[in-house]
C-alpha cells in the first residue's frame, strides 16, 4: 500500500501554528525596538477591536491583553462548510530594561497592529540622608 499525501507540507505548516489550551490566552506576536529615548512596540492583534485592547504599564513591566470575537450569522438552511476563524483572547507581558514614563506613553491601533510608544524614564538618583 502506498501512502500519498495530497498536501505534503500540511504537516509542516501545522507545526508553526500558535496553539494554546482552551481558556488560555494566545501569545500575541510582537517586536520591541529600543531607541535612544523610547521603546517602540508593535503587536499583532488580528481581529481585535480597539475597545477590546488593554495595555497596563508599571515601571518597566508591560502587560497587553485583547479579545477577538468571531460571530457567524447563519440563517436557517445555511451550512458552514469550513470554519477556521475562531474567537481568540490574546495575552502578553514582558519587562523592558528601563522604566517607562507611564503618563507620556502612547498607543495606536491600525490594521490589526497595536503600536506602543513608550518613553524611557530617567534613572532615579539615590539620595543620601543626613543622620541627626
In this structure, is residue 34 part of a structural domain? Answer: yes
Residue 80, pLDDT score: 85
DSSP string, 106-117: EEEEETTEEEEE
The range of the structural domain enclosing residue 65 comes to 25-70+85-119
In this structure, is residue 97 part of a structural domain? yes
Total number of domains in the chain: 1
Residue 81 has a pLDDT of 85
Q: What SS3 class is residue 45? A: coil
pLDDT value of position 74: 86
Q: Does the residue 127 lie in any domain?
A: no
Decide if 111 is inside a domain: yes
Helices assigned H by DSSP within the chain = 10-15
Instruction: Give the CA diameter of the chain.
Output: 92
Low-confidence residues in the chain, pLDDT < 70: 1-23
- CATH code at position 56: 2.60.40.790
pTM, rounded to two decimals: 0.72
Query: Is 17 contained in some domain?
Result: no
Is 126 inside any structural domain? no
Summarised one tens digit per residue, pLDDT across range 12-28 is 444 444 444 556 778 99
Q: What does the pLDDT read at residue 125?
A: 72
Distances (CA, A) of 98 to 15, 40, 43, 64, 123: 35, 13, 19, 18, 8
pLDDT of residue 4: 52
Are 117 and 109 spatial neighbours (Cβ–Cβ below 8 Å)?
no
Amino acid at each position: 500500500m502506498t501512502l500519498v499525501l495530497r498536501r505534503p507540507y500540511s504537516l509542516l505548516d501545522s507545526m508553526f501554528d500558535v496553539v494554546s489550551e482552551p481558556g488560555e490566552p494566545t501569545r500575541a506576536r510582537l517586536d520591541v525596538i529600543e531607541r535612544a529615548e523610547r521603546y517602540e512596540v508593535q503587536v499583532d492583534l488580528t481581529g481585535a477591536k480597539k475597545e477590546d485592547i488593554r495595555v497596563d504599564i508599571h515601571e518597566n513591566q508591560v502587560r497587553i491583553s485583547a479579545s477577538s470575537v468571531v460571530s457567524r450569522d447563519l440563517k436557517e438552511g445555511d451550512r458552514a462548510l469550513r470554519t477556521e476563524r475562531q474567537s481568540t483572547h490574546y495575552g502578553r507581558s514582558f519587562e523592558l530594561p528601563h522604566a517607562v514614563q507611564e503618563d507620556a506613553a502612547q498607543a495606536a491601533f491600525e490594521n490589526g497592529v497595536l503600536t506602543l510608544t513608550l518613553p524611557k524614564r530617567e534613572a532615579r538618583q539615590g539620595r543620601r540622608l543626613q543622620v541627626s
